[in-house]
C-alpha cells in the first residue's frame, strides 16, 4: 500500500468515525476542518513502520497500524486519548489568519505592516520575527503583513517603495490584480472569503503556492459581536488530553463588532504555562476609564473529559481596555494584565497585531506594539 492509499484509508476512517460520534461541539468541528484544509502538512506514514500511530480529534479515534506485518493495512483503534499538537519545528509552513481567511506561508517569515488605505503601510518590512522578537534592518526576511500599523514609520506603496524580500498581505486595501515592481518582484492580489490576499515575490512558484493555499479559516470565529465570557472549566483532575488550544486576537475597526486579526494554536505545555502565569497575577487596581473597548485576545483550551464524548472548555480573556485585565472566569476571577501575566501569550504574531493596554503601561511595550506617535 503506497502513501497516497494509506492517506485515503486514513481519511475515510476519520470521516466514518466522525459521523458515528456524538460530538456536537463547535470547537471540535473547527479542529477537524483545519486538519482537512492544511494543504502543506502531510501525514508521513511508512508502510514499513511497525510502531502504533494513533490520532484522536474530538473523541474520534482514527487509523493506526499495530501489526508487526508491514504489509497489513491500518485499522481503526479504540485506544486512549492522545493530545493534538500544533505545528512542530520540523514544519516548513505555518498558517496565518485574518478575519475569515487562512493562508499558509513559510514558517521562517516574520511580521510587518500592509497598506491600510490603498497606499500607506507602516511599515512594509519584517518588524517582528516569527517567534515574536523585535527585528531591526531585516530587509531580506520574508514577512506577513496586516493592515495594522506596527510602527509610526510608513511608506507609500507601491509608489515610493520597492520590496527587498517576499511578502504576503492579509486584508490589505489593495485591488485584486497584478503589479510588477522595477526589481523583478511581482505582486498578485486575489479575494478569498471576503478579504484580499496579496503575495509579492520574484519566485513565481512560491507566489502560486501561497495563493493556492488561501481558503476560509476555521480556527477562530472571524467576527464577534461582543467580548466572550471567560470560563475556568472543570478541575484539573477531570481534564484529559488537550484537544485544541487557540489564541484568537480581535480588534474593533468600526461601530460594529470585533474582527479576527490573528490566530494560532498552542502546545499543551504552552497553554498551561499561559494560564498559570495569568493566575499568578495580582488583582487589578481600581481604575476609572472612559471610552470603548477596542481589542482583546482570547485563550481557549478544549480538553477531553472523563465521560465519553464529552469535552471541557477553559477560556481566558485578555482585555486591553484601560490598564488591561485578564478574566479567568468564576473562581480565579479578574487579574491585572502584568508583563509576567501576558509574556507566555505574547509570542509569534501577537506583538505585531495587538497595541496593548490603552492606559499606556510602558512595561508592556515588549509584549505588544505599544503607543505610536
CATH label of the domain that carries residue 227:
2.60.40
Please check whether residues 16 and 53 belong to one and the same domain.
Answer: yes
What's the pLDDT at 254?
77
Compare 21 and 165 and report the one with higher pLDDT.
165
Please check whether residues 42 and 134 belong to one and the same domain.
Answer: no
Cβ-Cβ contacts under 8 Å for 313 (sequence gap 6 or more): 27, 231, 233, 300, 301, 302, 303
What's the pLDDT at 44?
31
What's the pLDDT at 260?
98
Please check whether residues 252 and 286 belong to one and the same domain.
Answer: yes
Q: Within 13 Å of residue 36, how many CA atoms lie on the same side as its CB? A: 15
What's the pLDDT at 195?
96
| pLDDT of 78 strictly over 90 | no
Query: Edge-to-edge strand order for the sheet containing 186-192?
Result: 110-113, 143-146, 167-170, 195-201, 186-192, 177-180
* Domain boundary residue, one of 215, 241, 276: 215
* Domain boundary residue, one of 215, 232, 248: 215
> Which residues are 60's β-sheet partners?
57
**Which triple of cell numbers denotes residue 246?**
487557540
* Domain boundary residue, one of 76, 97, 127: 76
**What pTM was computed for the model?**
0.78
Compare 309 and 9 and report the one with higher pLDDT.
309
Query: Edge-to-edge strand order for the sheet containing 93-98?
Result: 93-98, 101-106, 215-216
> Which residues are 305's β-sheet partners?
none
> Within a domain: residue 100?
no
Distance CA 301, CA 71 (A): 38
Span 316-343, average pLDDT: 92
Please check whether residues 124 and 240 belong to one and the same domain.
Answer: no
Element (H, E) at 8: helix 3-20
**Which triple of cell numbers denotes residue 302?**
478544549
Compare 353 and 370 and report the one with higher pLDDT.
353
Residue 303 main-chain phi, psi, to 5 deg: -115, 160
Q: Please answer whether residues 342 and 364 qualify as being in contact, where contact means their C-beta atoms are separated by less than 8 angstroms.
A: yes
Please check whether residues 350 and 263 belong to one and the same domain.
Answer: yes
What's the pLDDT at 287?
78
| pLDDT of 62 strictly over 80 | no
Span 195-215, average pLDDT: 98
Please check whether residues 246 and 294 belong to one and the same domain.
Answer: yes
> Within a domain: residue 24?
yes
| pLDDT of 15 strictly over 70 | no
* Nearest one of 371, 365, 348 to 111, comparing CA atoms: 348
> Within a domain: residue 185?
yes
Please check whether residues 235 and 333 belong to one and the same domain.
Answer: yes
How far, CA to CA in Å, does 155 sit from each of 158, 159, 271, 296? Answer: 8, 9, 37, 28
| pLDDT of 177 strictly over 90 | yes
Q: Please answer whether residues 243 and 302 qualify as being in contact, where contact means their C-beta atoms are separated by less than 8 angstroms.
A: yes
* Nearest one of 30, 28, 74 to 51, comparing CA atoms: 74
Please check whether residues 229 and 209 belong to one and the same domain.
Answer: no
What's the pLDDT at 320?
92
Question: Please, what's the largest Cα pairwise distance for the chain?
Answer: 69
| pLDDT of 81 strictly over 80 | no
Residue range 135-171, pLDDT digits in tens:
999 999 999 999 999 999 999 999 899 999 999 999 9
Q: Within 13 Å of residue 169, how many CA atoms lie on the same side as its CB? A: 31
> Within a domain: residue 89?
no
Mean pLDDT of the chain: 79
Residue range 111-144, pLDDT digits in tens:
999 999 878 999 999 999 999 999 999 999 999 9
> Which residues are 199's β-sheet partners?
168, 188
Distance CA 94, CA 109 (A): 9
Sign of CA dihedral 120, 122, 123, 129: negative
| pLDDT of 58 strictly over 50 | no
What's the pLDDT at 202?
97
Cβ-Cβ contacts under 8 Å for 159 (sequence gap 6 or more): 119
What's the pLDDT at 279?
95
Please check whether residues 112 and 38 belong to one and the same domain.
Answer: no
Please check whether residues 245 and 121 belong to one and the same domain.
Answer: no
Domains in the chain: how many in total? 3
Please check whether residues 229 and 346 belong to one and the same domain.
Answer: yes
Please check whether residues 324 and 197 belong to one and the same domain.
Answer: no
Range of the domain at 142: 105-215
Residue range 243-280, pLDDT digits in tens:
999 999 999 987 789 999 999 999 999 999 999 999 99
Amino acid at each position: 500500500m503506497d502513501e497516497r492509499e494509506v492517506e485515503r484509508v486514513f481519511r475515510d476512517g476519520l470521516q466514518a468515525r466522525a459521523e458515528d460520534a456524538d460530538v456536537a461541539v463547535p470547537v471540535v468541528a473547527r479542529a477537524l476542518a483545519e486538519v482537512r484544509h492544511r494543504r502543506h502538512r502531510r501525514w508521513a506514514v511508512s508502510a514499513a513502520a511497525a510502531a502504533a500511530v494513533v490520532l484522536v480529534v474530538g473523541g474520534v479515534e482514527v487509523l493506526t497500524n499495530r501489526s508487526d506485518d508491514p504489509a497489513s493495512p491500518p485499522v481503526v483503534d479504540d485506544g486512549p486519548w492522545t493530545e493534538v499538537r500544533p505545528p512542530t519545528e520540523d514544519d516548513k509552513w505555518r498558517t496565518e489568519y485574518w478575519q475569515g481567511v487562512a493562508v499558509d506561508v513559510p514558517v521562517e517569515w516574520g511580521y510587518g505592516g500592509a497598506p491600510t488605505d490603498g497606499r500607506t503601510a507602516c511599515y512594509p518590512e519584517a518588524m517582528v520575527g516569527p517567534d515574536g522578537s523585535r527585528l531591526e534592518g531585516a530587509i531580506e526576511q520574508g514577512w506577513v503583513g496586516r493592515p495594522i500599523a506596527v510602527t509610526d514609520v510608513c511608506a507609500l506603496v507601491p509608489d515610493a517603495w520597492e520590496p527587498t524580500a517576499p511578502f504576503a498581505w492579509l486584508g490589505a486595501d489593495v485591488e485584486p490584480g497584478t503589479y510588477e515592481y522595477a526589481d523583478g518582484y511581482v505582486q498578485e492580489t486575489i479575494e478569498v472569503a471576503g478579504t484580499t490576499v496579496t503575495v509579492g515575490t520574484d519566485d513565481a512558484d512560491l507566489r502560486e503556492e501561497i495563493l493556492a493555499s488561501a481558503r476560509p479559516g476555521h480556527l477562530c470565529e472571524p467576527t464577534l459581536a461582543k467580548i466572550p465570557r471567560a470560563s475556568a472549566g472543570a478541575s484539573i483532575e477531570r481534564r484529559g488530553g488537550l484537544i485544541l488550544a487557540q489564541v484568537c486576537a480581535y480588534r474593533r475597526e468600526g461601530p460594529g463588532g470585533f474582527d479576527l486579526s490573528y490566530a494560532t494554536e498552542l502546545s499543551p505545555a504552552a497553554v498551561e504555562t499561559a494560564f498559570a502565569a495569568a493566575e499568578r497575577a495580582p488583582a487589578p487596581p481600581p481604575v476609572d476609564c472612559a471610552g470603548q473597548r477596542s481589542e482583546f485576545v482570547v485563550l481557549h483550551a478544549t480538553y477531553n473529559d472523563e465521560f465519553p464524548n464529552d469535552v471541557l472548555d477553559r477560556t481566558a480573556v485578555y482585555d486591553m481596555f484601560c490598564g488591561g485585565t485578564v478574566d479567568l472566569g468564576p473562581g480565579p476571577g479578574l487579574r491585572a494584565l502584568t508583563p509576567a501575566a501576558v509574556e507566555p501569550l505574547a509570542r509569534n504574531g501577537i506583538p505585531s497585531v495587538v497595541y496593548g493596554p490603552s492606559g499606556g503601561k510602558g512595561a508592556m511595550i515588549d509584549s505588544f506594539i505599544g503607543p505610536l506617535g
